Chains A and B, each alone.
Chain A
């Protein structure tokens, strides 16, 4: 910058040569606006990201706690809560296989050929049995295709049905009680002792977590040789 010799010393905060050379285009307040919009852009971007992430974890996306319409209004509350059917009467493969299994129409008809055998809302079941066409149930618990969950190992080690599926005996229509997000899986895989119960209580929907769960659970974990956290949280435990 070149000092112009003819100028007198100024009390102005701005260097005098500026005034001499050019007019101020923007008002001083624009500095604030510029700063404000810069910071708020960052803030908004952050907010949007947080929003998207929150949305992805919201029940809208995970479908947590949302009832699903089914072709037949099957009530777990009635069958399990009122009638006291064991989970394994229908979900036969839960102890042996990765999938708990959905019962064939034949299982429904074991009872419903005699009970409620003329009510309208069971017509899809009878039709399926008559025609040999399967009932198309809407999938409620849906894991990502890249996650390979195995029911049998969980129930064999003492993780109860209600730990993941909630109080099924109080659900008139089935919904997903938990998020099924990886975070939720890892909560248990990091602290398996918090999810273990006596083996004879696995199918008890009313089982309550005792106060000394950490203590009892640790004992169960030891007895049942639950693998270490390093092993339970290896990627290939669930992904392949």
Chain B
């Protein structure tokens, strides 16, 4: 690369000894003003990945050019060169000896009685469901001789339609988490389950005497009919007992919104596929909340472009902080969370139905830009009556939800793009009130026996009321029984702790977002002495020791009625659900009019608004100990292993929040960001700040789920605990807090400073109109060198690519950065977790990364520039693009040419094979890779000792060791398995592999169908058709590497009214 060589010369000419220069810590502070100036001076569209890149700091660029450290930074503190050589000398001598032995004997341990239907060496798939909030995600789990190894979506299940999300993909790691609680404990001492059952019976007897007056049950959201029936049974035995619910990241807004709008709790189900125009009021329906996988699938099916003649749906998003949905939106407007209600009212005001009744002059609250936005959205929604949709966000208030319901009714969308059903939850309640009641009872000494079934209230309860000392309160309760997968913060204060079974270990059921009855079947017996909530409850009844299997069977029988019970049961298990059990739409009479809402108040200028959001990767904290999710860069901020208080660039500038890129040697990815103290709701927390382009000004986002003290080895003491400043009356949006910027800095691992591809135009985008005018937009500046213009071997002539020619096409229109593919790849290909320290050195191992680009130089931004309220137009609201980058499997592969030991070679089907047992770790290949997709095992990242993690690995893929290069293989194990099956067909004669028969892990997981894999030799394959589109382009095509992975330019369906400057 030319840029790189320039830089190399410069370093070589330096007079400093290279070591001193390499060891020195270099720091580059962020200059927001420079970024803005640079953006203004640029002409035409510009794409950039980080503000520093936009600012164009030459020192920063300098740092990015070094892919690898030149001075080994592993030993920088502890071991000097002399010791290192001594150690190495000794270990080399011994290593030579170690290689001399014969490999030890291995044993084969066959079954005693082999299960029916099992073919040794062939994985099986079982249908089950992952309960998650008020939803059940239908999944298929791959099992190798009884070990579940990989989770995929169940194509027959309405909530997943075959896709999945990062949580579902990563939940397999939770099963094998070595930090799981392993045995029941009493006051920290090991007990048996039988001990517990005995004690439980005794406690039950004493509660019986007072008809359960001292018994309380606390659960999360429950959609399981069987578990709900069990709780009801317990409540029947103990009539005065009470059932409370608390789930910190599920909002009461949607529940209470329905109550406000219709007078009772109702479940809202969207039919995204039918909507032409969608307005999201701070809603992240594409990546969180019930049904989000299905919604994403449906949303992007309406954005499939087979040519410039096709039409797309249109999404408007207003939100305080960039979410996956907001980033995917065609038009996005940053607004404070508290302004969303006024915004919604202002739109409703434009509807004919309300025009005269609402609050006039509402528009005056907003900037001219926002007013224009409001008018355009209102017009567009009304133009699409019956085919539009308004979605309110989970974290929004009941009023906003009620407004969304009213607007949908006014637009005639009810019954077409949205419908209502009876609640999916077994017992919908206001969680905040429910927990408050419990806390009050505990405070008043009314509770003797508290069963906490799942959840972690000591950590995540609001800090005010009685909760500020929830732990103290728990001490007042005679016996607390806590059921949870880990011995966590709440377990500490509970007398009994019972390890909870993973959903892959126990029988159960759950209802999906639309009510579909899904069966949860175990794939493996509990790894430890774990028990389910059902069993814990049973211990207190007259039927202790009864598991949930019979109850689930009975439930299935009850739903299906008569017929062959056994056959029905088998079919249900096979399918994972009972088809046709989705709840029927109900008529919901509106009991709410927007006109009844009081006129919204404006937020005082420059008053900080603190908003809480579930973390995009570790959610409410339940996934804190999941290394895959910790290391997964958060979709919009691209930071890993930490949460941070997110601020907008303008607010950062006003408050004096900054950040400094820090690097030593060739490291990238360490950013030292300002530390701020936040005082809110009587609590105080110290947090790292993080500047996010596109965030609304004067909004501070506090992501939940971090700051765990007892999460396990992976999750403890990471980030800050936002729950400690969260009050019950302002669960999602709070004001009146104080933020002080300190002089401290905190290192944050941000992957968007890694794998820089030299600032060339890598992403291509256009509006739908531009695309229609110029279908070739993606190629404008591309040079595509003609065939044959290469010094490399012509593989075609050598007989390669004869049968199959694997290729992948990734449609950038459809990628919203949700990152399900990244975790799916990690699970499929045994990819290790490296930890924050290594991520800060730029060494994360993900085979597929998702690059986030922002765009500047748009006419709308000129508009923003004119707006006085917008301080830094380039960073105010830049559209975001996401580009998944796996190995490009080049035909003229630069990596293959430089490997001195032939460890990366061309396969007959065009893959750049990586042969681990040949690799000696020179890293030349990675250095020569223009796409930066190769990953090197700098250390032995893989855990080879922990027994439970060995069970998790995919036996079809080699587990790599230290010193070996690795990269995406297009899931060659899947290719080989399908190829072998196809060749065995027809009595050994074989047949061609059908299109879609091989599905790579990333393609399988992708809920938006953005990734398509197939045979480029077959002109009718899906991938060939995509490659034939004019939007299809090669990344860095001018290098003539001829990548097999190609991209289709991103198209946004812009509203012409808003597009014009």
Contacts and interface: CB of A to CB of B under 8 A. Distances in A.
Interface stretch (B109-117, B195-203, B546-554, B678-686): B109-117
Contacts of A231: 802-803, 908-909
A158 interface: yes
B980 interface: yes
A8 B803 CA distance: 87
Interface string B187-214: 0000000000000000000000000000
A236 B976 contact: yes
Nearest to A140: B108
A103 B118 CA distance: 12
Contact of A135 (B110, B972, B989): B110
B799 A230 contact: yes
A148 B102 CA distance: 21
Nearest to A146: B917
Contact count band on A = 35 or more
A230 to B, nearest CB: 5
Contacts of A237: 907, 976
Nearest to B118: A93
A204 interface: no
Interface string A98-110: 1101111110000
A239 B913 contact: yes
A181 interface: no
Contacts, number: 144
A102 to B, nearest CB: 4
Interface string A157-170: 11000000000000
A203 B856 CA distance: 69
Contacts of B803: 227, 231
Contacts of A236: 907, 911, 913, 969, 972, 975-976
Interface string A78-117: 0000000000000011001111011111100000000000
Q: Is chain A's binding surface mostly helix, strand, loop or mixed? A: loop
B908 A93 contact: no
Nearest to B905: A235
B102 A61 contact: yes
Contacts of B103: 142
B106 interface: yes
Interface stretch (A37-45, A126-134, A208-216): A126-134
Contact of A101 (B120, B980, B990): B120
Contact of B917 (A61, A92, A96, A239): A239
A231 B913 CA distance: 12
A3 interface: no
Chain B: number of interface residues, binned into ranges = 35 or more
B957 interface: yes
A131 B367 CA distance: 79
Given A153-B980, A240-B972, A145 B958 contact: yes
Contacts of B969: 236, 240
Contacts of B989: 223-225
A199 interface: yes
A97 B121 contact: yes
A119 interface: no
Given A231-B908, A236-B907, A156 B112 contact: no
The secondary structure that dominates the B interface is loop
A101 B110 CA distance: 8
Nearest to B971: A240
Contact of B907 (A60, A61, A224, A234): A234
B908 A96 contact: no
Contact of A133 (B112, B909, B915, B987): B112
A101 B119 CA distance: 8
Given A93-B121, A146-B916, A236-B972, A105 B799 contact: no
B956 interface: yes
B114 A106 contact: yes
Interface in B954-975: 956-958, 969, 972-973, 975
A138 B911 contact: no
Contacts of B975: 236
Interface in B796-819: 798-800, 802-803
Contacts of A101: 110, 119-121
B87 to A, nearest CB: 26
B122 interface: yes
Contact of B107 (A98, A99, A138, A239): A138
A152 interface: yes
B80 interface: no
Contacts of B956: 148, 240
A225 B983 contact: yes
A4 interface: no
Contacts of A128: 112
A97 B917 contact: no
B760 interface: no
A150 interface: yes
B1013 to A, nearest CB: 15
A5 interface: no
B960 to A, nearest CB: 10
B1017 to A, nearest CB: 13
Contacts of B906: 234
A73 interface: no
Contacts of A158: 988
A104 B107 contact: no
A174 to B, nearest CB: 11
A156 B987 CA distance: 7
B913 A144 contact: no
Contact of A104 (B114, B121, B798, B909): B114
Contacts of A138: 105-108
Contacts of A92: 119-120
Contact of B913 (A106, A223, A234): A234
A121 interface: no
B907 A235 contact: yes
A28 interface: no
A156 B988 contact: yes
A150 B976 CA distance: 10
A196 to B, nearest CB: 10
A96 to B, nearest CB: 5
B984 interface: yes
A129 B802 CA distance: 52
Interface string B108-140: 111111100001111000000000000000000
Contacts of B917: 144, 146, 239
Given A231-B908, A237-B976, A136 B109 contact: yes
A224 B983 CA distance: 9
Nearest to A152: B984
Contacts of A227: 803, 908, 983
Contact of B112 (A96, A104, A239, A240): A104
A137 interface: yes
Interface of B: 102-103, 105-114, 119-122, 798-800, 802-803, 905-909, 911, 913, 915-917, 956-958, 969, 972-973, 975-976, 980, 983-984, 987-990
15 contacts: A93-B122, A96-B119, A102-B108, A104-B111, A136-B107, A138-B108, A139-B106, A224-B989, A227-B803, A234-B908, A234-B909, A237-B907, A240-B956, A240-B957, A240-B972
Interface of A: 60-61, 63, 92-93, 96-99, 101-106, 128-129, 132-139, 142, 144-146, 148, 150, 152-153, 156-158, 199, 223-225, 227-228, 230-231, 234-237, 239-240
Q: Which 7 A-B pairs have the closest CB atoms?
A: A99-B121, A97-B121, A234-B907, A101-B120, A104-B111, A231-B908, A235-B913
Given A153-B980, A223-B989, A231-B803, 7 more contacts: A63-B102, A96-B119, A99-B120, A133-B112, A138-B105, A146-B917, A228-B799
